[in-house]
Amino acid sequence: MKRLIIIVSCLILVSCNSNKLEEKYDPTSNKANLQDIEALVSKEDFKLLKEYIEEAENNDEDLSYKTYSLLLDDARTAHNEKIWKMEEEKRKEKERLKIEELTGLLCSKKWRKKEFAFQLEVPDDSEETIEEAKKILALTMNSVTIKGAKLTYVVDKNDKGIFVRVLYDDKTKKIFTRGYKKYSKDGSYVVVINGEEVEKGSWRFDGTDRILESSPSQSIIKPSHALEIYVLDENTFSYNDKEIDAINSETIVSVFTIMEH
């Protein structure tokens, strides 16, 4: 009987203390309430709750309508948001430093085209899919046909996906690989062929693996371009060039380009 009384007494005591979390905040009894709550929660949660209440009191916030349980939830949420913001700031700073490094590489060279090919990304390399991709590429090539040009279709698999590419013969390719392109840190670029500036435009990094370009010097209706970077180092600048039209839609056919200095 005596043992039963002790067990019941303990249960009542625990129940009373647990109810402390459901009591509403009261500045006059907060110190005593926190002393009781300290035994009910982990050290980390108690520290979060105490610091959260202190900060709210310093900011003259009204906490009287909230229970300690709700205040603890708020404290956890605020803590998680603080951690997320810190991680986001670190990510942005890391991205900023990377873009700064890439800008230095991009703007330090005169880049000359070495290889380029029109390409279409496909979901698989089945014969049916490849043939359909060739038809789409053929329609695209009709708009840039060069007399006497010989075309070759190849399938390329890389970490970016599966692509069907159409290549010009070496003689025709030379027409497109003349001159050079020079990027400047002020956000401008120029294409020079035989000493003449044939294209001017603007550029900016959109993250660390993508460059956005526009070239109003060629045409007021010319779409902008998104260059998805494959490699950008001391010697090579390779990318997948996608046109972006007025409604921000990317073309399905893109241009894979390799440039060297």
**DSSP result, 16-37:** HHHGGGGSBP-TTTHHHHHHHH
The amino acid occupying position 18 is S
Q: Using an 8 Å Cβ cutoff, are 49 and 35 in contact?
A: no
Do 76 and 120 belong together in one domain?
no
Do 63 and 118 belong together in one domain?
no
Sole residue written with tokens 């998680």: 80
Nearest CA to 107 out of 248, 232, 249 is that of: 232
More confident residue, 202 or 251: 202
What does the pLDDT read at residue 143? 59
Length of the chain, in residues:
261
| Residue 17 maps to a domain | yes
Sole residue written with tokens 């840039």: 144
In terms of residue numbers, what domain contains 251? 108-260
More confident residue, 146 or 236: 236
Do 23 and 75 belong together in one domain?
yes
| Residue 103 maps to a domain | no
| Residue 98 maps to a domain | no
Q: How far is CA 171 from CA 26, 168, 216, in A?
A: 85, 8, 30
Do 114 and 221 belong together in one domain?
yes
Q: How far is CA 72 from CA 29, 84, 137, in A?
A: 17, 18, 60
Q: What CATH number should be reported for the domain holding residue 233?
A: 2.40.128
**DSSP result, 218-251:** T-TTPPEEEEEEEEESSSEEEEEEEEE-TTS-B-
Confidence of residue 177 (pLDDT cuts 50, 70, 90): confident
**3-state class of 194 per DSSP?**
coil
4 pLDDT higher than 50:
no
More confident residue, 252 or 200: 200
Query: What number of other Cβ atoms are within 10 A of residue 206's Cβ?
Result: 13
What does the pLDDT read at residue 141? 73
Report strand pairing: 151-158 vs 161-168. Answer: antiparallel
Q: What are the tens digits of pLDDT across the range 84-131?
A: 999 999 999 999 999 999 999 999 999 999 988 889 999 999 999 999
Mean pLDDT, residues 61-83 taken together: 95
Lowest-pLDDT choice from 5-14, 71-80, 87-96: 5-14
Do 56 and 125 belong together in one domain?
no
255 pLDDT higher than 70:
yes
Nearest CA to 132 out of 121, 142, 143 is that of: 121
Q: What are the tens digits of pLDDT across the range 36-58?
A: 999 999 999 999 999 999 999 99
Identify any residues that bridge with 112 across adjacent strands, giving them in sequence order.
260
More confident residue, 251 or 151: 151
Do 119 and 244 belong together in one domain?
yes
What does the pLDDT read at residue 173? 82
More confident residue, 2 or 71: 71
What does the pLDDT read at residue 116? 87
